[in-house]
Amino acid sequence: MKGIKQSMLLASLSLYCLLPSAYAADKTWNGNTSADWATAANWNEAVRPCATDTVFFTSGSNPCAGYDASTTGLTALIVGANYSGNLGTSSANPLKFSATRVLLYGGGAANHLGSGTTGDWDELVLDTSGSQVYTFVGENGGGFMPECVFVDGALTVDSGIATTLYVEPRSGDTPELTLSTPTFTNVYILSANATMTMSGAGTITNLYMLSGTTTITAGTVTNTRQFGGAIVWNTTSTATSIEVFAGSFDFSGDFRAKTVTTFHAHTASTIDLSTGIDNITFTNTMESYGEPAILTAPLMGVEVD
């Protein structure tokens, strides 16, 4: 008889997740039984998350291990500032889910999240501290994050596709962004305290630098518009267009051959060519507008208009 009751209970819980979205609810993690997302007892409501639910990690430090919940379309997943557990196990075993909104204000020292092969995230906001590190692993070829806002903390994007990423900290915040092999259409670096490192074979179609520091050691950045801050260009990939209105653009740390189709330097910019112009092929003549940009090595035949 006991076995029959348990079977009926499990069947009813499974049916609950098939009910219409009108029955969507909040689900809050406690992790009191294990680190398994799918275990009902790990949730305050004694039911694992269902489609259109909003999932909360609000307090405590009980971790939630890697699991593929990407077929469960959540309304939101929210990690509160008072939650200190790790989400996901590793880059090879992240916590995967799809959600309209993902808001991350807390978490553990090593969090690994992913969209899975069938899920997307429509909006991401990351606002944590430097002790909380998030690694994102995207697997959906159609894109997994149309828009991301990175306020503070440490973020590594291993892979995946996103339309727009804003690195936009408040005063005193020091966000650290590392890109490995993701594909971004637009990346905006908007603060002097922000740092970005591109270290893998990823791609950025348009990079907009208002301030901060960006170091590119690998991958492809097609178009760069710099209005301040510092860019260190240590990659051999071809850049279609680089326009430096202000700030410093540094080629000096890499002696390998590289190609830039169009390079324009404006009055308030500093261009470091101290490795020698022979290492850089400018398809079109490098041009300077207004007062000449400060160049730390002779142009050696490159015309300045």
pLDDT tens digit sequence for 282-294: 999 888 888 766 6
pLDDT at 157: 87
Mean pLDDT value across residues 136-145: 61
pLDDT at 1: 45
For 223, other C-beta atoms within 10 Å of its C-beta total 17
Weakest-pLDDT range from 36-50, 72-86, 110-124: 110-124
Mean pLDDT value across residues 6-17: 44
- Percent of the chain's residues with pLDDT above 70: 82
Angle (nearest 5°) at CA 162 between 159 and 168: 105
Mean pLDDT value across residues 181-194: 92
Mean pLDDT value across residues 266-274: 88
Q: Are 125 and 107 in contact (CB under 8 A)?
A: no
Q: 206: pLDDT confidence band, cut at 50, 70 and 90?
A: very high
Query: 131, 180, 123, 185: which is closest to 150 by C-alpha?
Result: 123
| Both tokens assigned to 123 | 């909006």
- Beta-strand pair 239-250/161-167: unpaired
pLDDT at 24: 61
> Is it the case that residue 13 has pLDDT exceeding 70?
no
Helices and strands, number each (H, E), in the chain:
1, 21
pLDDT at 139: 61
* Mean pLDDT, rounded, of the chain: 85
Best-predicted range by mean pLDDT (56-60, 148-152, 250-254): 56-60
pLDDT at 16: 47
**Amino acid identity, position 166:** Y
pLDDT at 17: 53
Mean pLDDT value across residues 190-196: 92
pLDDT at 142: 42
| Both tokens assigned to 136 | 């994102």
pLDDT at 210: 96
Question: Greater confidence, 137 or 185?
Answer: 185
Q: How far apart are CA 270 and CA 249, in angstroms?
A: 6
Q: 252: pLDDT confidence band, cut at 50, 70 and 90?
A: confident
pLDDT at 34: 98
Mean pLDDT value across residues 112-133: 82
Q: Are 189 and 216 in contact (CB under 8 A)?
A: no
Contacting residues for 267 by C-beta, under 8 A, at least 6 apart: 246, 289, 290, 291, 293
* E strand residue ranges, 128-219: 133-138, 145-152, 154-159, 161-167, 176-179, 183-189, 195-198, 203-209, 213-216
